[in-house]
Each structure stands twice: as structure tokens, then as C-alpha cells.
Amino acid sequence: MKAFRKLKIYSAFTKANFLLAFAYRGSVFLWLLGGLLTAVMSGLLWWAVFSFGGSDAIGGFSYPQMLLYTVLSAVCAEVIYCGTADEIARDVRNGMIGMRLSKPISYQGMQAASAVGNFSGKLVIVGIPMMTIGTLVAVFGFGLDGIQWYNVLLFIPTLFLGMMLNNALGFMFGQIAFKTQAMWGVLSMTDLFISFLSGAVVPLSLFPSWAQNILAYTPFPSVMSLPVRLFLGMNSWEQTLIGLCSSVFWIVVLNVLGALWYKRSVRHVVVFGG
């Protein structure tokens, strides 16, 4: 019964952020438009590389696969972005952190529940429609094959795990706000760092082999590379199973580390206003 009451409390944050995504769907589309424009430019760049490079495949990707990879990465980057680090920095800056800490609920749990609602709203508004359109264009316009229905079904829960990893990383990096007010540069570098190492900028298969081996022991490939490669049918069942287990493992580890760091970080809280 106690667990049910807690679930009901946190589900309120999930519902609120789900509805909030619909209330501000215009901003979601604008952010997505910026990502898609970047994807189009990347697609043109890869077209030039494939056309003048004299190769049918680069890093294990054909041109149709690379084209859809850039589109999916742009869409998924918007869908899994939960802004946890930004929320923590904003709460600390405007003094809301004092009120958050006074509530009889877990601040970390509240951020996670909000991220789930945000993810669900964006997935319905832009994720599924845009990914469907991009896939149809790649299949019927560029002759892409290899996409299987079971990979598409498994893609959503895998992407959800990627979002939970992104939230856990955001909760950890966001706690830097407890020690400094200069968070804009930190957050920008953090987003770029995670995007690059997760394969959102370029596929990880283009990295040097030693870098790929190191990244295999980190949570970053599970944020973006794993779900997108799964959607494209480029992973074996063994790779998929290992990736899913790795995602769950890192979600648990990062949340535990985040909770331990949080207990130390709140000692540095200085509230102005509120």
C-alpha cells in the first residue's frame, strides 16, 4: 500500500510533464526543426562522402542507413532530452530548491518521474510521426532494407532506457549547480559530451577501434547508438541483449551514485529569494 501511494505521488509529475509537452508542442517542434535541419545538412555531407569516396559502405553503413541514422538521431535526441540538469540548475538559481527539499518526496525520484512524462509526450507528438516519415522515405525513396517489425517494437523500450540513462547522467552533472552559479557553459559542454560519445553526432563505428573498446564499458552507447542501430537492424540478438543488460546496469549504478552525491551536494545549498 505504501509503495502504491508513492507511485501515485510520482505519477502526478509524470502526467503533468506529459501534458506540458502538449501545451508547449510549438517549442518542441521548433527544437526538432533545428535538429532536422542539422540532419539534412549531415545527409548532404554524407552524400558527398559516399559519392566521391568510391565506397558503398562506411563504418558498416550504406548511404540509406546513414541517412536514416542521422534523421533518427536528430529525432531521438529531442525525444530523450529531459533537461534534468537544467531543471536542477534553475531550481538552485531561483531559490526553488529550498521548497523542493522541504517536500516529503525524493527530489531524484521527482526528476525521474518528470523525465518519463516528458519523454512520453515528445514520443507521441514528434517521435513516432517523424520516425515513421523518415523510415518511409528511406525505404521507398532510397531503397533501404533490413528493418524488421520486432526491432521496431523493441526500439521503444530501448529508447526509454536511453532516456533514463540520460536522466541519470543529467542528475549527476546538474549537481554541479550546488557549487557554482556559472552553469551555462557546464551544461552546454555536458550536452555536447554526451551527444558525441553516445553516437548522436556520428556513428560510433567510425571511431577508432581503441575508442570503441573503451566506450563499450561506459553507459554512453546505450543512450543513442544502441536504440538507433537496433531500429536499423544492424545489431545481432547477442549485441542487443548485452546492450539492454548494460543499460539496466548503468541506470542502477548511476542513480545510486547520483543519490550518494546528492546527499553531499545539498550541504552546499545557498538559497537566494524563493
For residue 23, what pLDDT band results from cuts at 50, 70 and 90? Answer: low
pLDDT surpassing 70 at residue 220:
yes
Region 209-231 average pLDDT: 93
At position 24, the amino acid (one-letter code) is: Y
Q: Specify the pLDDT at position 25.
A: 63
Closest CA to 147 of 60, 242, 228: 228
Predicted local distance difference test score (pLDDT) of residue 219? 93
Cβ-proximal residues to 225 (8 Å cutoff; 6+ apart), any chain: 198, 199, 203, 204
Q: What is the pLDDT of residue 225?
A: 92
Per-residue pLDDT tens digits for 86-111: 888 888 777 777 777 777 788 888 88
Q: Residue range 193-221: average pLDDT?
A: 90
- Give 157's contacts (C-beta < 8 A, 6+ positions apart): none
Given a contact cutoff of 8 angstroms between Cβ atoms, the answer to whether 98 and 271 are in contact is yes
pLDDT of 274 reads: 45
Question: Given CA atoms 254, 258, 260, 261 in this order, what sign does their dihedral have?
Answer: positive
Q: What is the pLDDT of residues 118-166, one digit of tens each?
A: 898 888 888 888 888 888 888 888 888 878 888 888 999 999 999 999 9
Q: Give the H or E element holding residue 82.
A: none
Q: Whole-number mean pLDDT of the chain?
A: 83
